[in-house]
Amino acid sequence: MADVQGEQPAAHELRVSVVSADQEVWSGAAKQIIARTMVGQIGILAGHEPILAILGAGEVRITTPTGELITAQAEDGFLSVDHDIVTIVARNASLD
Amino acid sequence: MGAQLRVYRQRIKAAQTTKKITRAMELISASRIAKAQARVAASGPYSRAVTRAVSAVATYSNVDHILTTEPEKVTRAAVVLFTSDRGLAGAFSTNIIRESGELVAKLQSEGKEVVYYTVGRKAAAYFTFRRRASEQIWTGDTERPEFSRAQEIGSALVEKFVQPESEGGVNEIHIVYNRFVNSVTQIPEVIRLLPLELIEDDESADGQAFPSYEFEPDVENVLDALLPVYIESRIFNAMLQSAAAEHAARQTAMHSASDNADKLIKDYTRLANNARQSEITQQISEIVGGADALSSAG
């Protein structure tokens, strides 16, 4: 689990945390997130408007600033974006 | 050996054996507090995220949703008690039962019917002994609660909450649990889960108001989906807090039990020494008295 408590990400980055009921699964910086909501796919870049979306079945793909791709299973949860802070919340979230 | 001395020696032995048990329980609880506390901390991000989301939706939407609207007349309220499975934890479970008694008296004076849900064998035993009905009882894992159990309790409560009143549904849900403050203080908390009481903490802590969120698919659906998630997360948090508090309460109780055993051992040792001494004194005076009698007779 990356610890980003101390460092401030650049303005064009997203701060992401993936949390499940009993722990924080992953947190760190990202430049893009692709998730599947109840009504379809959603792509999130920095500067996205605040949104609260219910996640549907499927994986969440997080691209880190270095281009690394992280996929997480976060079924049955929701996603919130607020001032470039993205929280992916699911009862049973896990990284692949 | 004199009869009195034997009794004192038995008591000392008994106190020593008890002390071994209480000391062991104290050490076990002490080691588990840290683990239970770590679990409370680990579940923090989830419950914060959920609470924040629920508060955000509730603040910025004017929809009439069961989660946020205050019913005009409350006829039935559910009360969930979080006690422990095992005893020897001081007033841990008693506090919860007493607090819930006060809450129930208050609810009933407002004309509300109370439906009980209980967690932990102690509450179950209390209810069975008094032939008080409990809608549902969960036992067996108060020391190490799993999220699946919180989900189970949550879905039972939500089901009851969305049921129409005429079919036995409830309009309010209250929970009573011990909150872990530190290893010497555990405070019984009474919280109304539903209808939602907005907690303004998050806003003031962040120093910024909630942004006006877009909702996907729409506000109603988001609230529908958040309702069970919110309830589960609050219940899971209550269970984890209660588990940590239970270990802390047990540690404190067992610590004073060990201290008491020490005191008993000390007191009985004094008494036993006294008894031994007076026995010896008596024997000497008997021998001296006997020798005197013999010599004066001869």
Domain-by-domain residue ranges, chain B? 26-253
Residue of B nearest to A50 (CA): B213
More confident residue, A14 or B202: A14
Q: Which residues of A touch B220 (CB under 8 A)?
A: none
The packing angle between helices B147-162 and B219-297, to 10°, is 120
Q: Which residues of B touch A25 (CB under 8 A)?
A: none
* Per-residue pLDDT tens over the stretch A39-68: 889 999 988 888 989 988 888 999 999 988
Instruction: Give residues with Cβ within 8 angstroms of B21, minimum separation 6.
Output: none
Q: Which domains does chain A have, with CATH numbers?
A: 14-95 (2.60.15.10)
pLDDT at B124: 93
Q: Which residues of B touch A53 (CB under 8 A)?
A: 215-216, 222
Helix (H) or strand (E) holding B148: helix B147-162
* Per-residue pLDDT tens over the stretch B157-180: 999 998 888 888 898 999 999 999
Q: Which residues of A touch B210 (CB under 8 A)?
A: 82
For A49, which of B43, B50, B214 is closest by C-beta distance? B214
pLDDT at B92: 93
Residue of A nearest to B42 (CA): A23
Cβ within 8 Å, pair B49-A23 = no
Residue A52 contacts B where some CB pair is shorter than 8 Å: yes
Q: Which long-range contacts (CB under 8 A, 24 or more apart) does B67-72 make?
A: B67/B194, B67/B195, B67/B196, B67/B223, B67/B226, B67/B227, B67/B230, B68/B195, B68/B196, B68/B223, B69/B195, B70/B195, B71/B171, B71/B195
For chain B, give the mean pLDDT.
Answer: 89
pLDDT band with cut points at 50, 70 and 90 for residue B209: low
Q: For domain B26-253, which CATH number applies: 3.40.1380.10, 3.40.50.150, 3.40.640.10, 3.40.50.1370?
A: 3.40.1380.10
Q: Which of A49, A52, A78, A79 would best serve as a mutation to test chain B binding (most B beta carbons within 10 A)? A: A52
Q: How far apart are CA B152 and CA A91, in angstroms?
A: 13
For B46, which of A21, A37, A49 is closest by C-beta distance? A21
Cβ within 8 Å, pair B232-A91 = yes
